[in-house]
Amino acid sequence: MFHPSLKQFSEAKELCESYSGDHGRSHLVSIHDNDTNNFLVQNVVAKFGPVNTWIGLGDVYENGTFSWVDGSKFDYNNFHRTQPDLISTENCVHLWDLWVGNSPFTWNNIYCNVYYPFICQKTITPK
Ligand SMILES: [Ca+2]
């Protein structure tokens, strides 16, 4: 689910998790392959335009060790070649509007308290 409202990372994380229920768990989106990344990017551009958008990745627990908020494995890395940088202060990750003209929407780490739209993912539990 794509949320155009601008939130800090922790607010976006909480809002996504508030949609959890009997039918499944909701959280900021996890990305494990190129197809998913491309799908999300296409939808972000279609819905918001080319803007920075939170995904569920950060190194809030240990600097330099990135983990998904849903606990899934960090098995796909799409950081821009210049990122992550400023490991000690930039602890949250977003799809990066690469206005600098590089390949679109790789990832960048940034301060967690900036305001971006965000993407929630709901995992449906079969009954
Ligand atoms: Ca950065």
Instruction: Tell me how far the alpha carbon of residue 106 lies from the centroid of ligand 1, in angstroms.
Output: 11
Instruction: Tell me how far the alpha carbon of residue 88 lies from the centroid of ligand 1, in angstroms.
Output: 10
127 band by pLDDT with thresholds 50, 70 and 90: low
Instruction: Tell me how far the alpha carbon of residue 56 lies from the centroid of ligand 1, in angstroms.
Output: 15
Instruction: Tell me how far the alpha carbon of residue 23 lies from the centroid of ligand 1, in angstroms.
Output: 36
Instruction: Tell me how far the alpha carbon of residue 27 lies from the centroid of ligand 1, in angstroms.
Output: 23
Mean pLDDT of 105-115: 95
Instruction: Tell me how far the alpha carbon of residue 22 lies from the centroid of ligand 1, in angstroms.
Output: 37
Residue 88: pLDDT over 60: yes
CA separation, residue 13 to residues 2, 5, 28, 46, 117 (Å): 13, 13, 6, 22, 11
Mean pLDDT of 18-38: 94
Q: Token pair for residue 43?
A: 């939808």
102 band by pLDDT with thresholds 50, 70 and 90: very low
